[in-house]
């Protein structure tokens, strides 16, 4: 479904609910839009089920912009024209899981009647998919977290979550690219830079992410701070 939602943008809706297969299509559609219509497209914002396409209304009006997007949407729905799920890069992200780096780790384990080791095992067992980027530059919404460790946001958000913090909110997990207020339940910290001004966001929608546990000294050797 394609709808003109403002006087310089069009929302393409590809589905109604979160679905990993949709994300691969969305990522491919974004690439097609940006490469074929670079003359007038000014921004492309993929999310779980949608792509918001902004354009320069001095270059093209809403009718022609909409018309130009229709064939791309159709070709992205035809079987075999898009890459399979998780065609993107899979990022290996080291995480130091401990109470000193993840202040909610023990509480989460306790509330879920699990050992801390088991929580870590669940968190590292899955290749997550990047569903969306937002909230902060380079902040990727990753899913889906195993039901066994899925946990709602904290009742009151923290005023300052340290950069690199790895958190869980319901069935999503994420790495905070920089220090910020935040309400996710923190279970560890990663030394990996998620955003920098030259390389931009490390994660792209459609990429895969796998976490692995590292020790305190490995974390510090990799440039992590406590």
Partner 1 sequence: MKLLRVIAPGPRTTVQDSGRRHFQKHGLAEGGAADRHAFLWANKLLDNDLNAACLEITLGGFEAEALAHVSIALTGADTRPRINGIAVAMWQTLQLTPGDRLSMTSAASGRYCYLAIRGGLQAPTLFGSATVVVREQFDELRPLARGDTLTGFDTSPAKPARMPVADRPIYGAPLKLRLIPGYQYSQFSQTDRARFLSSEYRVSTQSDRMGFKLEGAALQDPPPGIVSEGIALGSVQVPGDGDPIVLLKDRQTIGGYPKLGTLCALDCYRLAQAQPGQAVGFEVSDIATTQNERMLFESMFRNTHWNKCGDGLAW
Outline where DSSP puts E strands in the chain.
2-6, 9-13, 41-46, 50-55, 90-95, 128-133, 140-143, 158-161, 165-169, 172-175, 180-182, 185-189, 195-196, 200-201, 208-213
Segment 99 to 138, residues that bind partner 1, using CB under 8 A:
132-138
DSSP string, 119-141: HHHHHHSS-EEEEEE-SSTT-EE
Q: Is 197 in the site for partner 1 (CB under 8 A)?
A: yes
- Binding track over 143-182 against partner 1, x by CB under 8 A: -----------------------------------x----
* 200 touches partner 1 (CB under 8 A): yes
**Upper half-sphere CA count for residue 147 (Cβ side, 13 Å):** 0
Nearer to partner 1, 30 or 95 (CB): 30
As a whole number of angstroms, the longest Cα–Cα distance in the chain is: 59
Q: Which of residues 37-56 bind partner 1 (CB under 8 A)?
A: 42-52, 54
CB of 179 to partner 1, least distance (A): 8
| Minimum distance from residue 121 beta carbon to partner 1 (Å) | 29
Binding site for partner 1 (CB under 8 A): 3-9, 11, 16-18, 30, 34, 42-52, 54, 57-58, 61-62, 132-139, 141, 178, 195, 197, 200-201, 204-205
């Amino acid at each position: 479904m394609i709808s003109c939602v403002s006087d310089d943008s069009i929302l393409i809706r590809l589905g109604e609910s979160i679905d990993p297969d949709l994300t691969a299509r969305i990522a491919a559609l974004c690439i097609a839009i940006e490469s074929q219509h670079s003359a007038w497209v000014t921004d492309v914002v993929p999310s779980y089920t949608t792509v918001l396409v902004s354009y320069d209304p001095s270059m093209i009006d809403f009718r022609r912009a909409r018309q130009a997007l229709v064939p791309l949407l159709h070709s992205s729905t035809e079987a075999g024209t898009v890459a399979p799920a998780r065609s993107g890069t899979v990022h290996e992200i080291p995480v130091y899981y401990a109470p000193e780096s993840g202040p909610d780790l023990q509480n989460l384990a306790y509330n879920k009647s699990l050992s801390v080791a088991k929580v870590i095992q669940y968190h590292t067992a899955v290749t997550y998919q990047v569903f969306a980027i937002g909230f902060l530059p380079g902040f990727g919404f990753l899913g889906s977290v195993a039901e066994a460790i899925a946990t709602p946001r904290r009742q009151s958000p923290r005023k300052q979550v340290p950069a690199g913090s790895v958190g869980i909110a319901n069935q999503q997990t994420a790495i905070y690219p920089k220090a910020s207020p935040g309400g996710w339940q923190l279970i560890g910290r990663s030394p990996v830079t998620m955003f920098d001004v030259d390389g931009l966001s490390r994660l792209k929608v459609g990429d895969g992410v796998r976490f692995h546990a590292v020790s305190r000294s490995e974390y510090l050797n990799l440039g992590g701070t406590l």
